Amino acid sequence: MGTLFRFVTVLAALATVACTLRERVVVILSTNDMHAKIERFAQLAAAVERCRDTVPDVVLVDAGDRWTGNAFVDKAPTPGMPMLSLMNRLRFDVATLGNHEFDLGQAFLGRMLDSMRFEVVCANVVSDTTTFPQPAPWTVVERGGVRIGFVGVVTNYEGPGHPAGNDASYAGLRFPDPQQEAARCARELRGKVDVLVLVSHMGDDRDREFLAANGDYDLLLSGHTHVVVDTVIGRTPLLQTGKELRNVGVTVLRMKGRRLVGIETRVVPLAGYEPSPEYEALVAEIYASPELNAPVGRFSADADGWGLANWMAAAVADEADAEVGFYHVGGVRRDRIDAGEVSSAMVYGLEPFGTRVASMRMTPAQMRRMILEKYNDTVNLKEAHRIDLIATTPYDIVVDAEDRAVDVHFPALREGRLYRVGMNDYIFRNYRGLEYSEGRIEDDQVAEVLLEELGEESPLRPDNRPRQRIVRP
């Protein structure tokens, strides 16, 4: 018996015992940041179906980032459609937008919304275009006579002013402050529903900040930061399930009539569930692509996260005929690749964004400024105070007692010299403090560069040694 099933069964039994008080339960099951990792979808389906067999009133909700991260979904004839087909079949009820919903442009997303047989809500997107329809800020789902209002918001912190991604993807769209819009919607919707839920793709740090100042919501379902959170801020439960369908969120609403009298939350691992045979067959069919499964080359040793980042930084440097290469940690979407054959699907999973190579000339002083700005970033906090930029050249970030970066040392570079530099176009387009000369974006996509290198130079031996470090007082 799965953990979710036991949890819900116990609470349903409690509600039955309390039937003289007319108490019943409504269960909200939630996901976030699935990133097209459909290999676990059959287990999610099993958990959802078992819950629906146990409790009559169930709502299935997603907090954004449904695709980008799996070549078998992202390289499908219609990118993302295998993920949506599975979600439609499982009868998701409500979702909000994540930043990665915009990866292929708003026109593509506008078309995909027509294929989603669930309500997509987002209160802080304003569309002035014809390619992307204005989403509703909220929707109301009724279960067992209980009216549940779902408000959606998406981050605008990383742009800044819009979600993470290239500016071109957001042309004609505005993203007002998500916290302010969430508060406004709560004021408008509170009297019209029995339970009020915020479905947020702000990240748990921003969610905590919001709940510390606002107690209007009964529940906040979180996404974006890929962490497991099951806590209460003020009076409001905050739930995030991590990433890639490793877990499902379970919220049990205990209702007396239309009055919420209790709420219990839990993050439940999906590993303990026997996969649904129906969905297992559907997933196997999606994964059956001979082209994506065919080996392109080999690794002679295991590559960890550092080894993959080092490889990507070196690859963009080689393609740009550069002396120094940079890659950002957020663009490395696999934690490891084991020794042995490497398929094109593995490479596209490592770099799923269609990122291109950029080239320019920079002095060490300009590189230093870029690294310092990123480490001390006060806007995109989840990427600050860490080694974010992996480089082919070693460097040390010197920080003070308050963990503020004050200097960067390049032992292998000569101050004042102009170096040819390669990086990915995400850094080139979006990082503040970036100064250069002769900058341009090349035609080459990073994934194709990696595939070409694998095909021509196998077996490759990954270098897992960190070249960057933080020096503390």
Q: From CA 113, how far away is CA 135, in angstroms rounded? A: 9
Q: From CA 286, how far away is CA 213, in angstroms rounded? A: 45
* CATH number of 13's domain: 3.60.21.10
* Residue among 308, 298, 302, 350 nearest 466 (CA): 308
Tally of domains in the chain? 2
**Same structural domain, 71 and 203:** yes
Q: Which residue is listed with tokens 């010197």? A: 398
**Same structural domain, 263 and 373:** no
**Same structural domain, 58 and 125:** yes
pLDDT in tens, the chain (473 residues): 456 556 555 544 444 434 435 689 999 999 999 999 999 999 999 999 999 999 999 999 999 999 998 999 999 999 999 999 999 999 999 999 999 999 988 889 999 999 999 999 999 999 988 788 999 999 999 999 999 999 999 999 887 789 987 778 888 899 999 999 999 999 999 999 999 999 999 999 999 999 999 999 999 999 999 999 999 999 999 999 999 999 999 999 999 999 999 999 999 999 999 999 999 999 999 999 999 999 999 999 999 999 999 999 999 999 999 999 999 999 999 999 999 999 999 999 999 999 999 999 999 999 999 999 999 998 888 889 999 999 999 999 999 999 999 999 999 999 999 999 999 999 999 898 899 999 999 999 999 999 999 999 999 999 999 999 999 99
**Same structural domain, 298 and 368:** yes
- Of 234, 260, 286, the residue at which a domain comes to its end is 286
* Residue among 75, 73, 72, 115 nearest 95 (CA): 115
pLDDT for 167 equals 78
**Same structural domain, 405 and 322:** yes
Q: From CA 344, how far away is CA 453, in angstroms rounded? A: 12
pLDDT for 168 equals 80
Q: Which residue range(s) make up the domain with 314? A: 294-471
**Same structural domain, 249 and 273:** yes
Query: How far, in Å, are 193, 211, 254, 352, 386 from residue 139 at the CA level?
Result: 10, 21, 21, 32, 39
pLDDT for 15 equals 43
**Same structural domain, 367 and 392:** yes
pLDDT for 16 equals 44
> In sequence order, what DSSP letters do the residues of 61-119 get, joined into one string?
EE-S--SSS-HHHHTSSSTTHHHHHHHHHHT--EE---GGGGTT-HHHHHHHHTT--SE
**Same structural domain, 280 and 301:** no
Q: What does R_g of the chain's alpha carbons equal in angstroms?
A: 24
**Same structural domain, 450 and 349:** yes
User: In 10 A of CB 438, how many CB atoms?
Assistant: 11
pLDDT for 9 equals 55
* Residue among 174, 171, 190 nearest 182 (CA): 190
**Same structural domain, 431 and 345:** yes
**Same structural domain, 100 and 36:** yes
- Of 256, 286, 316, the residue at which a domain comes to its end is 286
Q: From CA 177, how far away is CA 172, in angstroms rounded? A: 17
Residues 6+ away with beta carbon under 8 Å from 402 = none
* Residue among 224, 104, 125, 114 nearest 168 (CA): 104
**Same structural domain, 107 and 243:** yes
Residues 6+ away with beta carbon under 8 Å from 30 = 60, 61, 62, 63, 221, 239, 241, 248, 249, 250, 251
Q: From CA 283, how far away is CA 19, in angstroms rounded? A: 41
Q: From CA 179, how far away is CA 164, in angstroms rounded? A: 17
* CA contacts within 13 A on the Cβ side of 167: 7
